[in-house]
Amino acid sequence: MANWFTNYCLVLRWQILRIRFELPFFVLVEALMATGIVIGFAFLYPNIDKQTALYLGTAAPTIILITLGIVIAPNTISQAKLAGIVDYMKSWPVPRMIYLAADATMWLMVALPGIALGLLTAVLYFGISLNISWLVIPTFLLVFLTSIGVGYAIAYLLSPMITSLITQIVVFFVLLFSPITFPVSRLPHWLALVHQILPVQYMAEVVRGTLATRDFEARPIAFFILGVWCLIGFITAHAAMTHQN
């Protein structure tokens, strides 16, 4: 265990140093996105009632975690594949899961300032109060790990070009056609059925349900489905990483 932790710390340090100049920009982008979701989306509504404000306020951390895990991280991996960095890392005598754990830790640190800023902006801009559950930290970790697990699976399974195209579709789909900033009841029936399979709806549900417990519920089934998606993502990514071409 001590050796595993030592290797994890070394890989994490190497990952941070490798993109140390880009990391501040990633943090800035996530912070701008958090405030943009809260303030920008509010312009779409003629009147902001309490429920709408809570939807927009709790949507910010959800979208940050999704875009970071399924968009930014996979594209960074794609660039590393093109540069030969992934092949170089595979040559290290370190378990593949350590790479995934270290990379995930780095991106979680990038996400935290944006999440905090998004929630603070929502509280100040809308004047709402949050009733936060003690489950909020494990919930955020589950949502993040599910997002980045799926992102890893995409990045390690597919070519950089296909990865880029898929992540662009994800951004479009998440921002416009996912029940994150609005209730699922507003979607067409067929699209609501699609979201019963995909993890996005459940990510938004558990975040809302742990940030505003008086107004929303986080169902146990939502946590279960996210756990399944998380396992599928990491198992797929690990298998793709260890596959020898």
The pLDDT tens digits for 34-64 are 888 888 888 888 888 889 999 999 999 999 9
Average pLDDT, the chain: 90
What pLDDT is recorded for position 2?
A: 61
pLDDT(104) > 70: yes
Residue type at 50?
K
**Rounded-to-integer distance, Cα 1 and Cα 137, Å:** 25
Tokens 């505003």 belong to residue: 212
Q: Which residues contact 16 (CB under 8 A, 6 or more apart)?
A: 23, 106
pLDDT(245) > 80: no
What pLDDT is recorded for position 113?
A: 92
The three-class DSSP label of residue 143 is: helix
- The better pLDDT of the pair 110, 86 is held by 110
Distances (CA, A) of 127 to 47, 49, 109: 14, 11, 27
What pLDDT is recorded for position 92?
A: 82
- Could you tell me if residue 188 is left (phi over 0), alpha (psi between -120 and 50 degrees) or otherwise beta? beta
**Rounded-to-integer distance, Cα 38 and Cα 115, Å:** 11
**pLDDT over 90 percentage in the chain:** 61
What pLDDT is recorded for position 1?
A: 61
Q: Where are the alpha helices (DSSP H) in the chain?
A: 2-18, 23-42, 50-67, 73-82, 85-90, 96-126, 136-157, 160-177, 189-195, 200-211, 220-242
The pLDDT tens digits for 183-235 are 999 999 999 999 999 999 999 999 999 999 999 999 999 999 999 999 999 99
Half-sphere exposure of 225 (CA within 13 A, CB side): 17
**Rounded-to-integer distance, Cα 77 and Cα 6, Å:** 23
Distances (CA, A) of 102 to 9, 123, 232: 7, 32, 19
pLDDT(243) > 80: no
This prediction has a pTM of 0.92
**Rounded-to-integer distance, Cα 7 and Cα 3, Å:** 6
The pLDDT tens digits for 56-91 are 999 999 999 999 999 999 999 998 888 888 888 878
Cβ atoms of 203 and 179 within 8 Å: the answer is: no
- Report residue 165's pLDDT band, with 50, 70 and 90 as the boundaries: very high
pLDDT(168) > 70: yes
* Closest by CA position to 241, among listed 110, 111, 92: 92
- Report residue 19's pLDDT band, with 50, 70 and 90 as the boundaries: confident
Residue type at 46?
P
